A and B are shown apart, each in its own frame.
Chain A
């Protein structure tokens, strides 16, 4: 018989993976339950494949009587006073090693069945106390063992089969364990034939409504022995299959996985690189890091330098009146803090808002627990983000720090023109001195198209210099803008890198963990 069911080991492995992923990330009680189950599974698996079957039910339903009937001896004394049984009794069919199992179950009243039926070899039958009497300690013992045993036989009777105490507290919550349960309707000898059938059908209807359609209902009478062969046959099947413990753990794993699945959103969409920061995030981070200020400083600095080298030499000093805006930011050293304005409350606010949007986008379809985890992730990040951004900007290469050749050449020409002008001026001064000394005409003054040469030199030099400065200005501006653009690109790249490493990737990692968690949970719960 080939089963589609995944092996228990796979299930538990998947569950372990889910727990590992959730560790430190998900603060939900379901993870604790999963961890407890893994511990229980480890312990139970080490104790062999005997089948632990417990008779559970209300007081007076006939658990002890049925137990004795199955054992074939009066081991657990039934009684007319309610409740009778206060401690769990165990009966062991053949098999060895049951002692360790019973130690683990903390059951001390043990009975070894004499001349055991070989078909039941490996059966450990427990007679539990009741769960519905005024004795609270009985209920606690039942609750403890209901978690641990492999097969649960719920013993009901015509009077109590529809009690809320058993249905609401035990049967309905065990809906996922339909295969692990067995329901017997005891004391059918108290009913006539049609009443017994009606009763059983009604019980069947109740169980079906609770999702326990797969659980068989066996009418029996512990007193007359009616229905006991059928019950024994079912037990034999379960015992010889040697699978009860595994089945129980698998059902538990399915249940725990189902509970964990409440913390699963839809898996991530394929295609988009989750670790890539969105443009909105990068832009906000760049703004917070002062990129616009730096870019503007770069542009102004380049313009200032261009003006200094191509400007009219006589007015160049004005540019020196104001310091280089770029130099003042102390960029270029990744270790030192820049003198960029500290990210103030506004920048921090922008940063927080941007990070929050990035987070919301990643967590849009995730359940609360994971969105909480995303929030914690970004809270850690936000603290050091400002510093990382500052370093990124400080360490940026803003392009060559030298004056372009043409600007230097223009500067030389400017100086030459200024020299020409100066020469003209000196000449004129010399002529004036000569004139004062009444030495006019001692030296001939060459003329250029009717104008005296020194005047031409002076006027032409000055005029040409001014013109050159005027012509160079738009070119300097264009150059400065280019440099600014380049600087912006480089800065933005570096900021994007920070956005990726500090925001997008941690978020993507959390998201990936969610996907891994959900995949594992799904495998565990299949």
Chain B
């Protein structure tokens, strides 16, 4: 029935991979925390959960952690009554963790079973510091088999790497031996860690070190109260009074209770198992909450990506609308284009084919008198550059609008960083692209006109005007046939647009002209849309590159469900 159900380690591995895939690429508030948490989950699975699940009988790893100067290294040395790790007055002293185990357990820690990312070294204490990527492995007789002690770097000094490494090591522990002092026990930073331990159900023992003998009871009571209120009443509390050190070691009687407890733990398989299982179960249980937190952060990434994408979409949709309006509203027929058109039609070149003789005569004379000729190519050229100008301004504004709104959106500023000036305007090659696209459009219109005119009865007349002339009329009709010109402007145009169009209708037929114009307009819109899309892609690509994978959430949720199922069916 559960033939296909994965084992817990397999399900865990899947979950780990899913978490490792999260990129948190958008710099939204809380991004750094989420990324750190994701890394912590991955590390804990690698460092602790998988090795522990695969070998429940492996030696118990007790990590001695806490504030700088609390006396962790001194404590470890004193417990072993040997100099295995360096203690010192300079803060922080310990940077590379030191793992001490019984010679018999050496094999369990020498390989990459636990903490696989830390290289093992075996130098003597007091030698050069091994740095943060290394773990010094010491086998020592003083320690019974089944128990290993790890002297961790501090959790609160200015050395950031120490803090990160300490958190990672604590997450890899079967048991925390949390060292604090009479001066430290109310510090916020270690308490944050203790609260985490409570959430994760980690087995904790607290050592209150360096207590002035006279204040022993008062301080111990105060701390015990704090532990109780934090839900750590089950944690053992060991108090070590501050006395002069003997050769750098604490007096044996001060640490006797702690020592006895640890040795007992090592000797008692059952008790050790209980500790191992408590921490393991707690860590596994807490995973679902931690993954929920990661899912929320991932959701936030998605939302931010969506918002950024929408801002760009809106800006470019508006640009497209501007262009559409200008095209449909006849706005292009003003100014330069209108002047050229008037000249073109006004010279009578068009009228030559017209049968109405008065107009013809008048225009011929007019043309003879002014001697001016505007070719259809000039009309097309002015129309073309107008369209290109329009596209340029639309693309510029859209880029600027997008950049401006991104600056106020979560994650937007970081995406723009270093590219602000490029992204505030259309891309440098946009003008050329726009001109090319408009030229192609005009070619397309001429092609349309040519094929439309080919089969017409009035071919002879048609040819006398030239495809170019007819094309110019269609182009103008694209912008005029929706009635963009107001009455006054039609008067300025001398009714010539309408005349030209009617003329064309006479040749090609009313419906044909309308469909030609409609097709030409649709083509222009499509081209404008394409150009603006390319521009929008500059923004869209930035978001896409930083945005989370679309199915990341589903996959992560499925992996978390998979782990829950695997645990239940065990």
Contact = CB atoms under 8 A, between A and B. Distances in A.
Interface of A: 58-61, 80-83, 132-136, 157-165, 167-168, 191, 195, 198-199, 202, 206, 287-288, 290, 292-293, 296, 300, 303, 307, 315, 318-319, 321-322, 328, 339, 341-350, 352-353, 356, 360, 368, 372, 375
23 contacts: A59-B186, A80-B215, A80-B218, A83-B186, A132-B189, A133-B187, A157-B183, A158-B69, A162-B91, A199-B89, A290-B335, A292-B336, A318-B365, A328-B492, A345-B326, A346-B326, A346-B335, A346-B337, A349-B393, A349-B394, A353-B396, A368-B407, A375-B404
B222 interface: yes
Given A80-B218, A293-B339, A352-B393, A339 B488 contact: yes
Contacts of B362: 318, 321
Nearest to B397: A352
Contacts of B394: 349
Q: Which of B69, B90, B218, B397 has the most CB of A within 10 A?
A: B90
Contacts of B365: 315, 318
Contacts of B210: 159
Given A134-B186, A303-B370, A81 B222 contact: yes
B366 A318 contact: yes
Contacts, number: 171
B159 to A, nearest CB: 8
Interface in B328-351: 329, 331-339
A165 B189 contact: yes
A61 B181 CA distance: 12
Contact of B390 (A132, A165, A349): A349
A260 to B, nearest CB: 19
Given A81-B219, A345-B322, A346-B390, A159 B400 contact: no
B541 interface: no
Interface string B147-165: 0000000001111100100
The 4 closest A-B pairs by CB, nearest first: A345-B326, A349-B393, A60-B183, A345-B331
A296 B382 CA distance: 16
Contacts of B89: 158, 191, 195, 198-199
Contact of A350 (B218, B393, B400): B393
A475 B534 CA distance: 54
A400 B219 CA distance: 104
B389 A349 contact: yes
Interface string B347-366: 00000000000000010011
Contacts of A133: 186-188
Interface string B382-398: 00001001101110110
A438 B266 CA distance: 161
Contacts of A345: 322, 325-326, 329, 331-332, 390
Given A80-B219, A349-B392, A167 B335 contact: no
B90 to A, nearest CB: 5
Given A132-B187, A292-B339, A344-B332, A199 B158 contact: no
A312 B490 CA distance: 32
B92 interface: yes
B334 A347 contact: yes
B334 A346 contact: yes
A279 B205 CA distance: 80
Contacts of B337: 346
Interface residues of B, number: 65
Contacts of B481: none
Contacts of B397: 352
Given A81-B218, A287-B336, A344-B335, A162 B492 contact: no
B136 interface: no
Given A159-B68, A318-B362, 18 more contacts: A81-B222, A82-B183, A82-B219, A82-B222, A133-B188, A134-B188, A157-B183, A162-B158, A162-B159, A165-B187, A328-B492, A339-B492, A343-B335, A344-B331, A344-B334, A346-B334, A346-B386, A356-B425
B187 A59 contact: yes
Interface string B178-190: 0001111111110
Contacts of B212: 80
A163 B157 contact: yes
Contacts of A136: 188
A132 B366 CA distance: 94
B191 A134 contact: yes
Contacts of B334: 341-344, 346-347
A346 B425 contact: no
B21 interface: no
A322 B189 CA distance: 91
Contacts of A61: 183
Given A60-B183, A159-B69, A290-B335, A199 B189 contact: no
Interface in B209-241: 210, 212, 215, 218-219, 222
B182 A80 contact: yes
A341 B492 contact: yes
